[in-house]
A and B are shown apart, each in its own frame.
Chain A
């Protein structure tokens, strides 16, 4: 506990030297540095993963720039602002999710997008990635921690509503991650261990039910494939087999930048999106993987520190949840690419090529910066 004690004391004497400037722009320098590091790594890998395609890298840079712009704007708001708008944001998010089956755009066998005519297409589930933890953090902090049973009950309703809507789209991966962000809030709020144990037992017991009634064939297939990728080497197992081969063949130091045969020769599917980390694993090896994970851990530690130093329960719960969810993203993506988790469409945060998730993620870090830089 001694480490945590020292942590507890630290908010009162922040020793960041350029603190005045960083504070004035409401940016947390350690977090900012960590994020830049990851994004830099991401662009570096992306360049290789696309076979040296500057266009893709430039477009990703534009997205990152937009994301950091959003981060910067979000960081300027006082955490109280998020508290005030939590319910409104949540309701808008739920409404949009509910609108998807009616107005949504179909793509790739799912209905996940809403198109704003003439502007852009977006996934309402992205809003929920922020709206749900903000909502729960506000709700649970408002009624005090640890939560009472009735507040827990309401929390579960609040959590289940968007999650069920997203499962229906269907987008199990996103649903589970959003559910996780809510569960982290409830956990951090002090859900009793007894209950956690009971719920864990229950959810394990629920798995067959989930397997039979909730999951779709392709989802079941993915899980089955995880245990035996060779069973369907050209179908569902292909991705996993190829990415494991890519990572495994990287060895300690890798085959060298832009020299990964698996990735450069298109054996690796989605090598610049969901499976991008396999490119790193192949080309820069175990060392490269550890360095990237270290960058994530850096961000993670800083996020946890910000959470612990949070000025009130809302800030702490929200920062804690956002940080842990971020880690879950990393874990699920890397776990999936190296074959210990089923293949669900989860991008590697800030590294995978792709639009909305980067903006949402950086908006979340904007919230963390806000929490970190606004005085109590």
Chain B
């Protein structure tokens, strides 16, 4: 029994030994797997993992350049950069975005709109690991709270950045434009390398026109980071190149004055320095606060502005296209004289209407009874329509078109005004293509008083006025006066060809005729010309919006709803000798040009020339 028991035990021991041997083989196999795996990773694939680990810890971070500053002609800052703290979330680093947002909401005030905006951005195309802003312009208290709770808010970051600020708000909104967040479409078209680290891009106006110069070029730093993206050390740093500063021709004070003079009327004012072509003022009213584009437009306000019948987002100065009305007369008139269709002494007897041969249609003068005996000078001064009907009939469309073209109508001649409309300087072909009808002689007659198919922007009229003031000499109309970016200065485009008259004295005589507008007893703007301490010249225009019954003075007989009232125009330059300023003023539905727009011009001139003599 003992023997069998001993045998048994020996058997059991042997069985266990067998099993242990099997286990040992198993263990060896598993060890082999581990060692093989380690060998594979560490010896065979080593290089690849080294590269990967380098990538892991060495990150190249872009450093956004400082956006170039924008100054007016006197060195006043029109667009600057101010530090702002933004609360943003790197979604990739957050465990649960919704919970995190809730958590953050308990610490700082976050509106539903901001959350909505955030989640909208979250859904749209974005760069991976790009912080998505949740709240901008944090105050110091909020910064402190977030800093204190940083540990609990994985993925949340508070970034200091320089954001664009427009100290004069609405005043320069249309001319400077604004920067806004780079949108999806732009992200696809811009050079991502240049925009690395930059979240804003010029959207309109100067900001857009000179975007590439203002932007500068990003620098970078090669940093060692941990997995949470926290920078451990900076290994290499290449500083960014700040954007070019722009010094514009704009005169801050004149611009403010122009805004003030327009008041809450809809309209536009463009002022140009004839000597340089520099745009002194460019106003479109109503405006909007461009700073809202930077910090995020409250949706309700945005919708309200967008849907407003006053169209505050429309830049009337360069995109508002209106009939030029009588302001066109000096341009047609000077060509008519110089090309011999009429002479300065050529006189007609205006009885208040004009008729084309073999045509029943009556073309009326704005003055019912007519102006009686008028020559070119008095026709300009009193804005006699019939005189120009007759002139136009003689000149035919082509002469008028070419003249207007030489003055820059129908095309964009301003070098650096973003998104300008060209207006319409019609031709026969244009009408055929556009409307499908042939050009009629009546169309030419209409054109002569700036009605019909011809459309101009206040900018074009101001430029044409400046050319007139310059006696046909063109200088590139532009905003940029000086920049530290020489390339910008070298690339200023050539202006259109100067207008050469057969008899250059015609310029002086036309100037004189325009001077009569504000000077003579029967001048349409004599009221605005009274007791000026300088000589100046201008031309009124009253653009009809719809045909309405008028009295003998051309004033509407009945009460006309504001929207249907005439647009008031006035273009002028001053002083008569060596003009310093040329302007075009448009007041939408303002009524008569001489009554509404001319006083604005006068005050603007008084202010600017007074300013000029002071400085």
Q: Which of A267-293 contact B (CB under 8 A)?
A: 267-269, 281-282, 285-286, 289-290, 293
* Most chain A beta-carbon neighbours within 10 Å: one of B34, B38, B232: B38
A44 lies within 8 A of chain B by Cβ = no
Which candidate, B12-20, B202-210, B247-255, B350-358, is the interface stretch facing chain A?
A: B12-20
User: Is there a chain B Cβ closer than 8 Å to A52's Cβ?
Assistant: no
Q: Given A145-B12, A187-B23, check contact A340 B56 (CB 8 Å).
A: no
* Chain B residue nearest in CB terms to A297: B31
Which positions in B face A, CB cutoff 8 Å?
12-13, 15-17, 19-21, 23-24, 27, 30-31, 33-35, 37-39, 41-43, 45-46, 48-50, 52-54, 56-57, 92, 224-228, 232
Identify the A interface with B (CB < 8 A): 4, 7-8, 144-146, 184, 187-190, 234, 242, 244-252, 261-262, 265-269, 281-282, 285-286, 289-290, 293, 297, 300, 304, 307-308, 310, 313, 316-317, 320, 324, 327, 331, 334-335, 338-340
**What's the least CB distance linking B151 to chain A, in Å?**
14
Chain A nearest CB from B355 CB (Å) reads: 82
Known contacts A293-B31, A293-B34, A334-B34; A249 and B52 CB within 8 A of each other: yes
The answer on a CB contact under 8 Å between A190 and B42 is no
For A8, what are the chain B residues with a Cβ–Cβ distance below 8 Å? Answer: 13, 17
Q: Which of B12, B20, B38, B232 contacts A265 (CB 8 A)?
A: B232
Return chain A residues, CB-CB under 8 Å to B49. Answer: 244-245, 247-249
Q: A188-B16, A313-B12 are in contact. Are A267 and B23 (CB under 8 A)?
A: no
A230 → chain B, closest Cβ, in Å? 12
- Shortest Cβ distance from B34 into A: residue: A334
Given contacts A338-B37, A340-B33, 5 further A-B pairs with CB under 8 A are A145-B12, A190-B15, A249-B53, A265-B57, A269-B227
14 contacts between A and B (CB under 8 A): A7-B17, A146-B15, A184-B23, A247-B41, A247-B49, A248-B41, A249-B52, A266-B226, A266-B228, A267-B56, A293-B35, A320-B19, A327-B30, A338-B34
Docked pose: A145 CA to B20 CA in angstroms: 14
Q: Which single residue of chain A is at the shortest CB-CB distance from B226? A: A266
Return A28 CB to nearest CB of chain B, in Å. 17
Residue A324 contacts which of B23, B33, B226 (CB distance < 8 angstroms)? B23
For the complex formed, measure the closest distance between the CB of B33 and the CB atoms of chain A, giving whole angstroms. 7
Point out the residues of chain B lying under 8 angstroms from A7, CB to CB: 17
Q: How far is the CA of A285 from the CA of B42 in the complex (A)?
A: 7
Task: State in angstroms the CA–CA spacing of A146 and B248 once bound together.
Answer: 99
Select which of A252, A304, A307, A340 is within 8 A of B43 by beta carbon: A252
Asked if B57 and A267 make an inter-chain contact with CB atoms under 8 angstroms apart, the answer reads yes
CB neighbours (8 Å) of A282 from chain B are 53
Say yes or no: A331-B30 contact (C-beta < 8 A), given A145-B15, A265-B226, A313-B12: yes
Contact in complex: B42, A331 (CB < 8 Å): no
The 3 closest A-B pairs by CB, nearest first: A248-B49, A266-B226, A249-B53
Shortest distance from the beta carbon of A296 to any chain B beta carbon, whole Å:
9
What residues of A have a CB within 8 angstroms of the CB of B56 in the complex? Answer: 242, 245, 261-262, 265, 267
Residues from chain A with Cβ under 8 Å of B20 in the complex = 4, 188, 304, 307-308, 320
**CB-based nearest B residue for A269:** B227
Residues of B within 8 A of A252 (CB): 42-43, 46
Residues of B within 8 A of A267 (CB): 53, 56-57, 226-227
Q: Is the CB of A244 within 8 A of B57?
A: no
Residues of A with C-beta under 8 A to B35: 290, 293
Contacts of A262 in B (CB 8 A): 53, 56-57
Q: Is chain A's binding surface mostly helix, strand, loop or mixed?
A: helix
Asked, given contacts A8-B13, A249-B46, A265-B232, whether A281 binds B21 with beta carbons under 8 Å apart, the answer is no
Q: How far is the CB of B25 from chain A (nearest CB, A)?
A: 12
B30: chain A residues at CB < 8 Å are 327, 331
* Complex contacts, B12 vs chain A, CB 8 Å: 144-145, 313
- Please, which residue of chain A has its CB at the minimum distance from the CB of B33? A340
CB pair A248–B48 under 8 Å, yes or no, is yes
Q: How far is the CA of A242 from the CA of B30 in the complex (A)?
A: 23
For residue A332, which residue of chain B has the nearest CB? B30
- Give the CA-CA distance A172 to B232 in the complex, in Å: 37
Docked complex Cα distance between A282 and B53 (Å): 10
A251/B46 in contact, CB under 8 A: yes
In angstroms, how far is the closest chain B Cβ from the Cβ of A304? 6
Neighbouring A residues of B92 by C-beta, 8 Å: 234
**Cβ distance A226 to chain B, nearest Cβ, rounded Å:** 13
**Which residues from B are CB-within-8-Å of A261?**
53-54, 56-57, 224
In the complex, what distance in Å separates the CA atom of A250 from the CA atom of B54? 12
State in angstroms the CA–CA spacing of A316 and B19 once bound together: 11
Write out the residue numbers on chain B whose beta carbons fall within 8 Å of the beta carbon of A317.
Answer: 16
CA distance A334 to B35 in the complex (A): 10
**B230: nearest residue on chain A (CB-CB)?**
A266
Q: Which residue of B lies closest to A196 (CB)?
A: B22
**Would you call B17 and A289 a contact (CB within 8 A)?**
no
Q: Which residues of A contact B46 (CB under 8 A)?
A: 248-252
A308 touches B227 (CB 8 A): no
B227 x A304 contact (CB < 8 A): no
**Could you tell me if B23 and A281 are in contact, using CB atoms closer than 8 angstroms?**
no
- Are A251 and B19 within 8 A (Cβ)? no
Is the Cβ of B227 less than 8 Å from the Cβ of A300? no
Complex CA–CA separation, A200 to B99 (angstroms):
45
Residue among A249, A266, A285, A313 with most chain B CB within 10 A: A249
Which partner residue on chain B sits nearest A287 by CB separation? B42
Name the B residues within 8 Å of A335 (CB-CB).
33-34, 37
List chain B residues, Cβ under 8 A from A300: 27
Name the B residues within 8 Å of A184 (CB-CB): 23
Other-chain contact of A188, B19, B41, B43, B45 (Cβ < 8 Å) = B19
B17/A308 in contact, CB under 8 A: yes
**Given A262-B53, A267-B57, A297-B31, A251 contacting B23 (CB threshold 8 A):** no
Partner of B23, one of A269, A320, A340: A320
Q: Given the known A-B contacts A297-B31, A338-B34, are A286 and B19 also in contact in the complex, defined by CB atoms under 8 Å?
A: no
For B54, the chain A residues whose CB sits under 8 A away are: 261
Question: When the two chains form their complex, are residues B17 and A286 in contact, meaning their CB atoms are under 8 A apart?
Answer: no
- B585 to nearest A CB, angstroms? 60
